[in-house]
Amino acid sequence: MVRVRFAPSPTGHLHIGGARTALFNWLYARHNKGTFILRIEDTDKTRSTEEYIRSILEGMEWLKLDWDEGPYRQTDRFDIYRTYAERLMHEGKAYLCYCLPEELEHRRQEALSQGKQPKYDGRCKNLKEPLPDRTPVVRFSMPPEGEIVVKDLIKGEIVFDNAQLDDLIIVRSDGTPTYNFTVVVDDVDMNITHVIRGDDHLNNTPKQIHIYKALGYEVPSFAHLPMILGADKARLSKRHGATSVIAYKDTGYLQDAIVNYLVRLGWSYGDQEIFTRDELINYFSFENVGKSAAVFNPDKLLWLNGQYIMNSKPEELSELVMPFLIREKIIEEGQTIDKGWLSKAIATLQERSKTLAELAVSLRFYITDVIEYNQKAKEKFLNEKSLPYLIEVFESLRGLDNFDAADIEKVFKLIVEKKNIKLGNIAQPVRVAITGKTESPGIFEVLEIVGKEKTLNRLEMAIKTINEC
């Protein structure tokens, strides 16, 4: 059975690159009805924090990348690593190294000055006795010659020369295990069948394969995902518009839009752009993962998010937009709002909104009791010329019993015919009076949703504003 893992280091928040790696692992597990494991690689005590662990878990949960096992933490597994390290030393596949850091640096500089590869020379490999007053590290003994072949599911076969590989440290002098060692032990212990990760780890793979073989375990299949770059072809960073997954949540992106965009960074299925989760699970394979680096485009992500908002059910958006209404101080914490009414208001605006935050701001005029006029709109449309039309609309709507869009439209048409004017002559002043702006959804629908009482109050306020000028 397929068993895969996502193994982030909690030295930062879950970002676009990590989230895509998690997604590809999740999709491969779900496609093959396998197991998806979450493992926290927190052995870097100086940079790993509980805050980052919580942030990673929150990001995974928000993206709905549910894991089947874990989260396991490497700091809980030190006894396991120690056992494996002792086994390798007992079998002569690892050894104690007493070289001091300054000695290693001196030899490194000396090798560079002679045009040689700066690798450890193995001088401690055959020591018979420990050196006094020195705390050793444990080094893994690499084979000095031959080749190692990585059979990558995305990149194909890649050959590495063993002579280029160093006798890497697997346990530091303070007793903490190193990355390349813990990764192998964890993957062995958790029966990982496929290692799916970014291709920035590719150079670690031959070292890890040697450790697998030294431990006598079957080597898993590897799939190294191409890097994600910015538009300038540099490694993706905040300056390219990429940020943490939770920041996208807080900005008002939908998780399905993020997932859809992430999967398209390196994977394709014909000309299809937008996928349901079920489609992604059904279609996903490494055959459709490209070998070239993907380019992150924040504008494309924003467009895609707008498509998801546009095609979402207003009832669903009415739940999602609530935190943003509170954040924008459009409603207060704990304030109740009729979800059916809110859904109707959202339905008029969702095609115009790229994010939930934008949608919340757009909803303000529907909810607020006090309209703030755009100054240019006020000067252009709330003036003596529009005053008689606003009064006419106010009086006509006040007598309307059935306050729906169809009957409101009839009122406007009657005024247009009576005054022999264009609809815009009254629609625009009314729009500014009701929304404070010159652009809005259809004015008849807007008035119905705002409701008779608020509509009359706002028209009355607009009339008063003109009279006071």
Strand intervals (E) in 162-247: 169-171, 194-198, 221-225, 228-229
C-alpha torsion 408→414→417→419, nearest 10: -90
Q: How far apart are CA 79 and CA 277, in angstroms?
A: 40
Helix (H, G, I), strand (E, B) or coil at 12: coil
Q: How far apart are CA 364 and CA 358, in angstroms?
A: 10
Nearest to 216 by CA among 117, 345, 87: 87
User: Residue type for 18, please?
Assistant: G
CA-CA-CA-CA torsion sign (7, 11, 16, 17): negative
Helix (H, G, I), strand (E, B) or coil at 333: coil
Q: How far apart are CA 71 and CA 4, in angstroms?
A: 13
End-to-end CA distance of the chain: 77
Active site residues: 238
Burial level of 216, CB count in 10 A (0-12/13-18/19+)?
A: exposed
